[in-house]
Amino acid sequence: MDDQMDDEVEFNVQTFVPAELDYVRDSLTRGQASANGAYSRQVRQLLQAETGAAEVLLTTSCTAALELSAMLLDLQPGDTVIVPSFSFTTTALAFVRQGARLLFCDIEPRTLGLDPRHVAELLADPVHGPTVRAVVVVHYAGIACDVAGIREALAERPDVALVEDNAHGLFGRWRGEPLGSLGRFSTLSFHETKNISCGEGGALVLNDPADVPRSWVHYDKGTDRQAFLQGQVDKYSWRDTGSSFGLADPLAAILLAQVEERDVIQGRRRAVFERYLSGLSPHADALGLALPDVPEDREPAYHLFHVLLPEAERRGEVIAAMKARGVPTAFHYVPLHDSDGGRRFAAAPGECPTSTDVSARLLRLPFHQELEASDCDRVIAALVDVLSGM
């Protein structure tokens, strides 16, 4: 099953806390394992308290939550959505599935979040600007994007919804405000690679109370079953479009155990982040390495640790040399504007040079809550050794 070298550092280890097993057993034996059982309700309450949201719906993935937010936008033919080119496919695909065309936006080099100047340019375009219905931001690695800049770019367009794809950012903050509380919609991921994880899972965070009743209809197979359960109607029926978005309760049980331990999980991840940063900083200039740069007004969510190598051409060599030293590394994202799907679904061709450059030079280091200080030091030493020898 495991073909990893015995002494290889693990790139990712899914979060696990012992209470999960008891909670899952209880959830499986209490008679409601489908969506929105007892465990789901507790997780929703905790996430709602964390973000101050009007409502939180647990979904089968962040992708599903993005699709639900796209349904709530009621997109019409000819509508467009501004998305970052430097992101995961479903940040864009979720809106395409609801009929929108895409306007790809570049990122700014400091946080690798959406570039507000490019957002403003896209909105000012005489042909496509008026068709924009939403702007999707990602808080890359759990470090908030330039929220003030994005708000300024949107100041004259109250009709354009801000959607936070907050797959990386749960528990991060921007100027003291929780990530996930800043957009009309915000989405979370509980995939095995995320800080809080039930294998596959997600959530839609609704920050505008006006969206809540419709969101339950789309969430629950297009029916008003939720209104029925709350005694607001005497039978439930088909009302609108929708799908089956709900997360099974045993998976929510896993989430509850982990959310209850969030301070420990986040503390361990923070320690890894800080160890990498302090260990690599003294070498960064000499090696031409760019390290994560957290603006003072932001508290990261400590989702991942990335560096930017000086030369894109040698990344393959660096990955191989790190692997030979027992340290797996990875890269992402292939710029969406330059992919077959991106070209097919774009409203107009566009250039995103920072996304292209970052995507070619970015390297992710092993990152999870089980890493000890000695593992971090081994990763740091391997990277310094590999880059010094080039």
Ligand X SMILES: Cc1ncc(COP(=O)(O)O)c(C=O)c1O
Which of residues 262 and 325 has its CB atom nearest to ligand X in the complex? 262
Q: Which of 184, 104, 174 is nearest to 139 (CA)?
A: 174
Q: In this structure, what token pair is assigned to residue 124?
A: 């000012």
* β-bridge mates for residue 56, sequence order: 205
Rg (CA), the chain: 21
| Residue 354 binds ligand X (CB under 6 A) | no
Does 87 contact ligand X by CB under 6 A?
yes
Stretch that binds ligand X, among 58-66, 103-111, 112-120, 151-159 (CB under 6 A): 58-66
Q: Residue type at 58?
A: L
Q: Is 294 one of the binding residues for ligand X (CB under 6 A)?
A: no
Residues 6+ apart with CB under 8 A from 239: 217, 222, 223, 224
Q: Which phi and psi (to 5°) does residue 315 adopt?
A: -60, -40
Using CB under 6 A as the criterion, what x/- string covers residues 199-228 for binding ligand X?
Answer: ---x--------------------------
Taking the least distance from each CB to ligand X, the nearer of 173 and 303 is 303
Q: Least distance (Å) from ligand X to the CB of residue 332?
A: 8
In the complex, least distance from residue 94 CB atom to ligand X, rounded to whole angstroms = 9
Closest CA to 30 of 251, 258, 249: 249
Kindly tell me which of 113 and 350 has the beta carbon lying closer to ligand X: 113
Q: What is the smallest separation between the CB atom of 384 and ligand X, expressed in angstroms? A: 28
In whole angstroms, the minimum distance from the beta carbon of 333 to ligand X comes to 8
Rounded to the nearest whole angstrom, what is the least distance from the CB of residue 186 to ligand X in the complex? 11
367 binds ligand X (CB under 6 A): no
Determine, following the binding rule CB under 6 A, whether residue 91 of this chain makes contact with ligand X. yes
167 vs 309 by CB, closer to ligand X: 167
Does residue number 61 form part of the binding site for ligand X (CB under 6 A)? yes
State the Cα–Cα distance between residues 319 and 353, nearest whole angstrom. 23
In which element (H, E) is residue 185 found?
Answer: strand 185-189
Number of H helices, E strands in the chain: 14, 12
**Which of 15, 40, 69, 90 contacts ligand X by CB under 6 A?**
90
**Residue 22: which H helix or E strand, with range?**
helix 19-29
Q: Which of 371, 344, 364 is nearest to 142 (CA)?
A: 364
Q: Which stretch binds ligand X (CB under 6 A): 21-29, 83-91, 97-105, 227-235?
A: 83-91
Nearer to ligand X, 39 or 88 (CB): 88
CB of 251 to ligand X, least distance (A): 12
Rounded least distance, CB 161 to ligand X, Å = 17
By CB under 6 A, tell whether 88 contacts ligand X. Answer: yes
- Residue 165 engages ligand X in binding (rule: CB under 6 A): yes
Options 167, 247, 309, 358; binder of ligand X; rule CB under 6 A: 167
Nearest to 102 by CA among 73, 124, 126, 122: 122
State yes or no: residue 133 binds ligand X (CB under 6 A).
Answer: no
Among 9, 17, 62, 358, binds ligand X (CB under 6 A): 62
Cα–Cα separations (whole angstroms), residue 377 to 175, 372, 381, 384 = 31, 9, 6, 10
Q: What are phi and psi of 62, to 5 degrees?
A: -70, -35
Would you give the DSSP letter of residue 9?
Answer: P
- Residue 57 as a binder of ligand X (CB under 6 A): the answer is no
Closest to ligand X by CB, 90 vs 207, is: 90
User: Residue type for 132, please?
Assistant: V
Candidates 23-31, 56-64, 209-217, 258-266; binding stretch for ligand X (CB under 6 A): 56-64
Q: Do the beta carbons of residue 84 and residue 136 sit within 8 Å? A: yes
Beta carbons within 8 Å of 177's beta carbon, 6+ residues apart: none
Work out whether 189 is an interface residue with ligand X (CB under 6 A).
Answer: yes
85 contacts ligand X (rule: CB under 6 A): no
CB 189 within 8 A of CB 247: no
CB closer to ligand X, 93 vs 206: 93
Q: If you count them, how many residues does the chain have?
A: 390
CA dist 23 to 16, 33, 100, 252, Å?
12, 12, 41, 9
Residues near ligand X (CB under 6 A) are 61-63, 87-88, 90-91, 138, 165, 167-168, 189, 191, 202
